[in-house]
Amino acid sequence: MASDPTSLRTTVALVQVAASRDPGENRERLAALDVPDAGLVVLPEVFQRDLGKPGDDLAGDAEPLDGPFVDALTAKARAHGGTWIAGMVERSEDPTRPYNTLVVVDPDGLRASYRKIHLYDSFGFKESDRLVAGPRTPTVVDAAGLRVGLMTCYDLRFPELARELSRVGVDLLAVPAAWVAGPRKVAHWRTLTVARAVENVAYVAAVGQPAPRYTGHSMLVDPRGDVVVEAGDGDAEVVVGEVSTALLAEAREENPSLLNRRDDLPWH
């Protein structure tokens, strides 16, 4: 296939770093991050305030979308350039249960937010005891020349959300996570990340917190299912990969499964 002069190559930085239960400390970590130049920078879920132990009260550390964490993230984008995605605990109408929210900022400020739909009531956890689920609305934002769909951690196990995002039209699915460690969990993470890329013929940038509490293995997967780059399991690590809209177009031409999807089947 001839090269397309309008094709875009975007650098994506996956920042695999642990968060603490202290929002002020996490803002300091954010300010100190050394990240290579990238059009899109993706941090983990709840980077503003880690979820901590199952009984931890999150409401006291929840912030509004114009609060100190979003201000700090915007300042980082302004100093560094690019569009930044990170997770936070956002105040809700329920004073005891906030939202688990992703925010997208660039040097001009907040661009978009997504409140986690699927709460982690699984593997012995009950996230819904402490958090409120967001509205069932796919969230897509234009960032770094790409159409980016937003998902959070446990959302990865629900292919229907990724499919709805692909129906709206995305080049990349961004999945910040705090994927809790345990038996088979790395295998689940890797398998589901690759599956979401293949079935939606899209890039997936899945970024987690590191071991020992979480699984690490932040990864960028291309629309053919090839792993572009992958971090290890422990320690802070930043890995960088490239997203190519030319490769995306080639993958969708050779595998037009999104066009072949049958919307007239009885379960739609």
Backbone angles phi, psi at 71, to 5 degrees: -60, -45
3-state DSSP assignment of residue 215: coil
- Cα-atom radius of gyration of the chain, to the nearest Å? 18
169 burial level (CB within 10 Å; 0-12, 13-18, 19+)? exposed
Taking alpha carbons only, the member of 208, 233, 93 closest to residue 152 is 208
| Angle between helical axes of 23-32 and 68-80 (0-180°, round to 10) | 0
Angle among Cα 9, 248, 173 to the nearest 5 degrees reads 85
Residue 116 annotated in active site: yes
Q: Which of 63, 90, 127, 153 is catalytic?
A: 153
The residue from 45, 63, 127, 230 that is catalytic is: 45
Secondary structure (3-state) at 87:
strand
Catalytic pick from 63, 116, 127, 230?
116
The residues carrying an active-site annotation are 45, 116, 153
